[in-house]
Amino acid sequence: MLKDATVLRQPILDNTMTIIGYELLLQPVDSNAAVNMDTLKQIHAAFDLAQLSGGVKLFLRSNQVSLSEELLSLYPTPTQLSIEVDQQVAHDVKQLKLLKVLRQGGITLTLGDYQPDAEHDRIAAACQLVKINTTIFSDDQLSDMVAKLHQAGHKVIASNVPDETDFQRLKALKFDYFQGFFFTNPIVLHGKKLSASKLNLLQLLAKVNNDETDLEALAEVIGHDVALSHKLLTAINHPQHNLPVQVTSIVDAIRYMGLKRLKLWTSMILMAEVDEKPQALMETSLIRAKFCEALAEHTGHKAEKDSFFLVGLFSTLGAYFNLPQDEVLGELPLAEHLKEAMLEHNGAVGKALWIAKQFENPYTDLMSLQYEDAGFMDISNRYMDATRWGSAIMRSTQ
């Protein structure tokens, strides 16, 4: 477990909202300390960088890990690693030579905080990717920059994308990739009503995750939906799960997976039924759920851990249906205190969800976070465990 630093992970998606990578943001516990290659090695030893990246490209900032040929041996597949540099390297001949070595070794180079001037263009020539802070330029300026960079053979990343409205605007400006949690802040259609199929989906989700739904009741719920049964059995029989026998019925699935695990799989499949929603949204739901459950297990709320998990899992339902969260929750027969936890962050479970969301925000004062008797580093390590678990679950379903 880490003791001296924490890690934030922010997704980078393409214009179809498919995850192409994650940027790791390293933060020291001591505000006077600096993160460096040793910090990165500690993170790798504790959590495995390849698992934290979820099988996609890992983005690191050079001012946090320092440029070093060690990067070529630290990460198992250098081609899945991107190092972000700034214009300061233009004044350091040694670093410029090192960038060439890293690129020849397979590492992708990204120029961060691009500005349309000669110095940035000179560094961009050594990079494959260019990142633009989209909050400081007009649309006309952004359009001109993207066209110019495309002509020079670069892919362009829009950083600081706050919501889906901005995603759609920047997508129209021809950006290639988009960084942020914009997919959890969708275009909300007020006054829109749920279709009968989506309302039925919500009701199924509620029934599956009801505390009173036992083995027999769950088997009946799943068994009445042929398509759901087929998808569930196909997922369960995936070779990666190494089950001792071929599962051919819901009863077999319950026997070999257990009630809780089967409820999770069923919920994931149901939520994935919502069209045109990114894989990243499901992963965020899973990470929040596992993190909230971990806080419950290791504080005074172990008996409520399933409720904590459910609150984390359902905390993104508004994003799934492009409706205000309160309207979606209004269709579910959930206990009022669970709805209040998701909407107002009330109670112990609401506080757990609020903390989970803070780890998604690179501007949060993380060091001040505390959950009952759990201090910041304990909370941080549990969040990283949840991140690794969520990524592993997503890989196992693909």
pLDDT digits (tens, 9 = 90+) for 334-360: 889 999 999 999 999 999 999 999 998
pTM: 0.85
263: confidence class by pLDDT, cuts 50, 70, 90 = confident
pLDDT digits (tens, 9 = 90+) for 140-160: 999 999 999 999 999 999 999
pLDDT for residue 153: 95
Supply the pLDDT for residue 88: 82
Domains, the chain: 5-184 (3.20.20.450), 196-397 (1.10.3210.10)
Q: What is the mean pLDDT of residues 93-97?
A: 85
User: Residue 242: its pLDDT value, please?
Assistant: 66
Arithmetic mean of pLDDT, 260-277: 76
Average of per-residue pLDDT values in the chain: 85
**Mean pLDDT within 226-239:** 74
Most confident stretch, 123-132, 193-202, 251-260, 262-271: 123-132
Binned at pLDDT 50, 70 and 90, residue 241 comes out as low
State yes or no: pLDDT of 267 exceeds 90: no
Over residues 61-75, mean pLDDT: 82
| Pair 123, 87: CB distance under 8 Å | yes
Q: Report the percent of the chain where pLDDT is more than 70.
A: 93
**pLDDT digits 0-9 by tens, 276-307:** 778 889 899 999 999 999 999 988 898 998 88
- Of 100-109, 190-199, 204-213, the poorest mean pLDDT is in 190-199
At residue 154, the pLDDT reads: 96
Per-residue model confidence (pLDDT) at position 6: 80
pLDDT tens, residue by residue, 7-38: 888 999 999 999 999 998 887 776 666 777 88
pLDDT value at position 262?
77
Q: Is residue 175 predicted with pLDDT exceeding 70?
A: yes
What's residue 26's pLDDT?
82
386, pLDDT greater than 90: yes
Please give the average per-residue pLDDT across 260-275, as a whole number: 77
Q: What pLDDT score was predicted for residue 115?
A: 93
